[in-house]
A and B are shown apart, each in its own frame.
Chain A
Amino acid sequence: MGFGNIKSKDGQKQLNDFLADRSYIEGYVPSQGDVVVFEAMSGAPSADLCHALRWFNHISSYNKQERQSWPGVKQPLGNYGPKGGAAAPAGGDDDDDDDDDIDLFGSDDEADAAAEKLKEERLAAYAAKKSKKPALIAKSMIILDVKPWDDETDMSEVEKSVRSIQTDGLVWGTSKLVPLAYGIKKLQISCVVEDDKVGTDFLEESITAFEDYVQSVDVAAFNKL
């Protein structure tokens, strides 16, 4: 917020920092902003503040008439300088209200207030919309590999057993038999689960419970939907 107290060492240090990569207070030509800050200073900054000193000398190389012809409108001192810096000390003419940053779009205070209002309205509308929308249910698609004990296991029985597992939030999908070796086939079956209600642990436990048929269960794929 501005340079704080420009007459203090601290304020001048901020000015120095600010001018390190700038030649003028605003933009690339001398303006009334330079005049405001220049006139607020009680004298040249000390030599160790080289950027502030360079600027000061530059501005003082112009005479008063030249300075008056520079473009821009004088604003309070607090409106110039870095944005969002340390709060300016109280007193003086530090008018550290809303927009002391560089106004890229050249809008004035009223436009800003309007924009602010619009933004608030939109935020409110968005919040309302969001609250009405039902919470999204997280679902996952799981593909399970169910392996039988040997080649004599009846795979249709295996599938029937697996599909007999019914619970809230679990939907069985397609299945197929994939040959492994020595005539043994495994059952690959997909299902869609609601994450909150059904976990892979539950599925594995329930399926391995058919221990007459099932040797092991693996999760072959797990996709969030």
Chain B
Amino acid sequence: MAVGVEEEVKSLANFLGSPAYKVTTQGEIKVPQLHTGNGKTLTGLATISKFLARSSPSGGAKLLGTTPEDQAEIAQWLEYRVTIVDRSVEKKDAQAMLKELNSYLLDKVYFLGFHFSLADLIMYHGLHPVMCRLSFFEKQQYQNVSRWFDQVQHYPGVQQHLPQLVFLRNTLYTSSDH
């Protein structure tokens, strides 16, 4: 799991207006744990983020989707984040993942289509280190991912502690994958 997962949980909590929970990590792969204060401990990013959204005092529950379809899709992206994004450490894995996401995001503004959701939030945090490592050329190759990423990082309150990435469009590079 990526470093700074504690930071991620904290910025999620911050975004959702939750109180400052105690966050720790467990084991070598740093599974985040959230101590809810009444003796219970939640383990795993997907669990924690769902809990934070559902218990959010600032209406974060709507980020979990309003229709059963949306909710199912968000669950799927949370799973994707933990099982694919966080494990794509190798460059070729990351490239395969970006290619997949790029074609998925072709006709979408956000992961659920047209509405910002928890899926975007979680994927943004997961992809930030990946996008950081890309060159401008690669970012343009995965144009749909880049557009989505740029959109999400400008969504009010999302960016928090993460540095803003710059996306430039260079007409020298022709984008081949429409």
Q: Establish whether residues B107 and A20, one from each chain, have CB atoms under 8 Å apart when the complex forms.
A: no
Other-chain contact of B146, A21, A50, A57 (Cβ < 8 Å): A21
Q: What residues of A have a CB within 8 angstroms of the CB of B154 in the complex?
A: 27-28
Q: What residues of B have a CB within 8 angstroms of the CB of A57 in the complex?
A: 107, 114
Smallest CB separation, A28 vs chain B (Å): 4
Q: Establish whether residues A50 and B175, one from each chain, have CB atoms under 8 Å apart when the complex forms.
A: no
Q: Is B150 an interface residue (CB 8 A)?
A: yes
Alpha-carbon separation in the docked complex, A53 to B146 (Å): 18
Interface string of A20-49 (1 = CB under 8 A from B): 111100011000000000000000000000
Please, how many residues of chain B have a CB less than 8 angstroms from a CB on the other chain? Answer: 19
Q: Establish whether residues A20 and B114, one from each chain, have CB atoms under 8 Å apart when the complex forms.
A: no
Q: Establish whether residues B109 and A20, one from each chain, have CB atoms under 8 Å apart when the complex forms.
A: no
Q: Establish whether residues A21 and B155, one from each chain, have CB atoms under 8 Å apart when the complex forms.
A: no
Q: Is B33 an interface residue (CB 8 A)?
A: no
Q: Is B167 an interface residue (CB 8 A)?
A: yes
Q: Establish whether residues A28 and B143, one from each chain, have CB atoms under 8 Å apart when the complex forms.
A: no
Q: Is A139 an interface residue (CB 8 A)?
A: no
Q: What residues of A have a CB within 8 angstroms of the CB of B151 in the complex?
A: 23, 28
Alpha-carbon separation in the docked complex, A61 to B110 (Å): 13
Q: Establish whether residues A54 and B169, one from each chain, have CB atoms under 8 Å apart when the complex forms.
A: no
Q: Establish whether residues A21 and B107, one from each chain, have CB atoms under 8 Å apart when the complex forms.
A: no
Q: What residues of B have a CB within 8 angstroms of the CB of A20 in the complex?
A: 143, 147, 169, 175
Smallest CB separation, B61 vs chain A (Å): 21
Q: Is A197 an interface residue (CB 8 A)?
A: no
Q: What residues of A have a CB within 8 angstroms of the CB of B140 in the complex?
A: 21
Secondary structure call for the A interface: helix
Smallest CB separation, B81 vs chain A (Å): 21
Q: What residues of B have a CB within 8 angstroms of the CB of A54 in the complex?
A: 106-109
Q: Is B178 an interface residue (CB 8 A)?
A: yes
CB-nearest residue of chain B to A20:
B143
Q: What residues of B have a CB within 8 angstroms of the CB of A22 in the complex?
A: 147
How many A-B contacts if CB must be within 8 Å?
Answer: 37
Alpha-carbon separation in the docked complex, A21 to B140 (Å): 9
Q: What residues of B have a CB within 8 angstroms of the CB of A21 in the complex?
A: 140, 143, 146-147, 150, 167, 169
Q: What residues of A have a CB within 8 angstroms of the CB of B167 in the complex?
A: 21
Interface residues of A in 49-106 (CB under 8 A from B): 50, 53-55, 57-58, 61
Alpha-carbon separation in the docked complex, A58 to B169 (Å): 22
Smallest CB separation, B112 vs chain A (Å): 11
CB-nearest residue of chain B to A61:
B114
Interface residues of B in 137-171 (CB under 8 A from A): 140, 143, 146-148, 150-151, 154-155, 167, 169
CB-nearest residue of chain B to A19:
B147
Alpha-carbon separation in the docked complex, A29 to B68 (Å): 26
Alpha-carbon separation in the docked complex, A100 to B109 (Å): 25
Alpha-carbon separation in the docked complex, A22 to B106 (Å): 12
Q: What residues of B have a CB within 8 angstroms of the CB of A61 in the complex?
A: 113-114
3 A-B pairs closest in CB distance: A28-B154, A54-B107, A23-B151
Q: A23-B147, A27-B154 are in contact. List 4 more A-B contacts (CB 8 A).
A: A21-B147, A23-B148, A28-B154, A54-B108
A–B pairs, 20, beta carbons within 8 Å: A20-B147, A20-B175, A21-B146, A21-B150, A21-B169, A22-B147, A23-B109, A23-B148, A27-B154, A28-B150, A28-B151, A28-B154, A50-B178, A53-B107, A54-B108, A54-B109, A58-B109, A58-B114, A61-B113, A61-B114
